[in-house]
Structure 1
Amino acid sequence: MYAKILVPVDLSATEKAEKILRKAESLLNPDGEIVLLNVVEDLPNYLAIDLPVDLIENAIKDARDRLAALKQNAPRVGLVEIRSGAPAREILAAAVDLHADLIIIASHTPDLTNYFIGATADRVVRHAKCSVLVDR
């Protein structure tokens, strides 16, 4: 059982998010806490020039709304956090900052560039300072 579980979610795959939230609840101490995290990726400068100025701000607002909806169905979620940057780097930083005991991350269907697990999940597994559970 774990005291603090970090659950980074990809909001384009909410069914996976709900599944790993249920897994987190089953592994949580009775007095533990789940932290929901979403990382909004920064845009490269060469792309940002051609896109609306408030694109990132709108993505953060959308993420906040969608995470709030996920939290409503998961009573053990204590904190919802949104960060911007490179997903793997921000997930690892959040785990350290929040003193997470476990990270539960979903993996997408692999392609040839990341055959065994997703690129973000792979980086998190290799560099995390706490336990990591990858849900395929």
Structure 2
Amino acid sequence: MYKRIIVPIEIGGLDRGEKALRKASTLLEKGGEIILLNVVEDVPTYVAIDLPPELRQNAIDDAEQKLGMLIRTSGIPAMIEIGHGRPAHSILAAAEAHDADLIIVASHIPDFSNYFIGATADRVVRHAKCSVLVDRQR
């Protein structure tokens, strides 16, 4: 059983996120904590110039709202955290900041460019200082 579990969730893949959240709840020890993490990727400056300034804040607000809804509909208590930057780096930073003992990362069925697991999952597995469960989802 685990005390603190990080569950990174892509807003575009809430169904996979819900499965990972449910799996986390079965692995959590009594009194433990689940942290749902969404990462808002930084937009390169040369692209950001042409985008509305509120775009980043809208992405953060949307993530908080959708993760909150996921928590309410699943009935599984969890904290919400919004990171920014490169996904793998943000996941690893959150795991270290929260002293997590498990990261559950959903991974799609890979293609030849990332044959074994997805690119973000691969980076997390390689560099995490805690256990990582790769939840293969179709």
After TM superposition, the score normalised by the length of structure 2 is 0.94
Do 1:103 and 1:131's aligned partners in 2 also have CA atoms closer than 8 Å? yes
Q: Give the Cα–Cα distance (whole angstroms) in 1 for the partners of residues 44 and 66 of structure 2.
A: 25
Change in 2 beyond 3 A, CA 1:73/1:117: same
Amino acid at match of 1:52: P
Q: Give the Cα–Cα distance (whole angstroms) in 2 for the partners of residues 32 and 75 of structure 1.
A: 15
Q: 3-state DSSP class of the match of 2:10?
A: coil
Q: Give the Cα–Cα distance (whole angstroms) in 1 for the partners of residues 29 and 74 of structure 2.
A: 15
Q: Percent identity?
A: 60
User: 1:33-112 counterparts in 2 under 5 A?
Assistant: 33-112=33-112
Alpha-carbon displacement from aligned partner over 1:60-85 (angstroms, at most 9, x marks no partner) = 01001001111113444331100111
Alpha-carbon displacement from aligned partner over 1:59-114 (angstroms, at most 9, x marks no partner) = 00100100111111344433110011110000000000001010001012312221
Corresponding residue pairs, total? 136
Do 1:20 and 1:135's aligned partners in 2 also have CA atoms closer than 8 Å? yes
Q: Give the Cα–Cα distance (whole angstroms) in 2 for the partners of residues 73 and 103 of structure 1.
A: 22
User: 1:6-17 counterparts in 2 under 5 A?
Assistant: 6-17=6-17
Do 1:40 and 1:83's aligned partners in 2 also have CA atoms closer than 8 Å? yes
Q: Give the Cα–Cα distance (whole angstroms) in 2 for the partners of residues 130 and 113 of structure 1.
A: 26
Q: Give unpaired runs (5+ residues) of structure 2.
A: none
Which aligned runs of 4 or more in structure 1 are off by greater than 6 angstroms? none
Residue aligning to 2:20: 20
The Cα of 1:31 is off from its aligned counterpart by 1.4
Residue aligning to 1:135: 135
Q: 3-state DSSP class of the match of 1:13?
A: helix
Do 1:36 and 1:77's aligned partners in 2 also have CA atoms closer than 8 Å? no
Residue aligning to 2:31: 31
Q: Give the Cα–Cα distance (whole angstroms) in 2 for the partners of residues 104 and 19 of structure 1.
A: 10
Q: CA RMSD of the aligned region, Å?
A: 1.1
Q: Give the Cα–Cα distance (whole angstroms) in 1 for the partners of residues 77 and 50 of structure 2.
A: 37
